[in-house]
Structure 1
Amino acid sequence: MRLTTRATATAAAIAATLSLTALGTASAAAPAAKPAPVTCTAATTKVTVEEVDRPLNHLLLKARNTGTKTCYAYGAPFLRFDQAQSATPWLGASKPQAVVTLEPGQTAYAAIGTSSPEGSEGYRAHALGVLFANRAMNGSVGDPAAAKLPRGGVYVDSSAFVTYWQTSAADALIW
Structure 2
Amino acid sequence: MRIATRFTARVASSAVVAAALALVGVQAAGATASAAAKASPVTCTTANTALTVTEVSRPINHLLLKATNTGTTTCYAHYAPFLRAGADAQAPLAWVEESKPQAVVTLKPGQSAYAGILTYSPDGEGGGTAKTLGVHFTDKKAAATGKEKTLNLPKTGVFFNSAAAVTYWQANAADALTW
TM-score (norm 2): 0.80
Q: Which has the higher helix share?
A: 2
Q: Which amino acid aligns with 2:161?
A: D
Equivalent residue number for residue 169 of structure 1: 173
Equivalent residue number for residue 100 of structure 1: 105
**Aligned residues, how many?**
149
5+ long unaligned stretches in structure 1: 1-26
Note the 1:1-175 alignment, pairs <5 A.
Answer: 32-33=34-35, 34-82=38-86, 83-137=88-142, 139-175=143-179
Q: Which amino acid aligns with 1:32?
A: S
TM-score (norm 1): 0.81
Structure 1 stretches of 4+ with a deviation exceeding 4 A read none
Q: Distance in 1 between matches of 2:152 and 2:106?
A: 24
**Deviations, residues 112-166 of structure 1 (Å, cap 9, x unaligned):** 00001101111000111000011111x1110011122102000000000000000
RMSD of equivalent CA atoms: 1.7
Q: Distance in 1 between matches of 2:172 and 2:152?
A: 21
Secondary structure at 2:78's aligned position in 1? strand
Q: Distance in 2 between matches of 1:61 and 1:161?
A: 12
8 A Cα contact 1:47 1:146, kept in partner = no
5+ long unaligned stretches in structure 2: 1-26
Q: Distance in 2 between matches of 1:146 and 1:101?
A: 23
Q: Distance in 2 between matches of 1:108 and 1:63?
A: 5
% identity of equivalent residues: 56
Superposition deviation, residue 51 in structure 1: 0.6
Equivalent residue number for residue 23 of structure 1: none
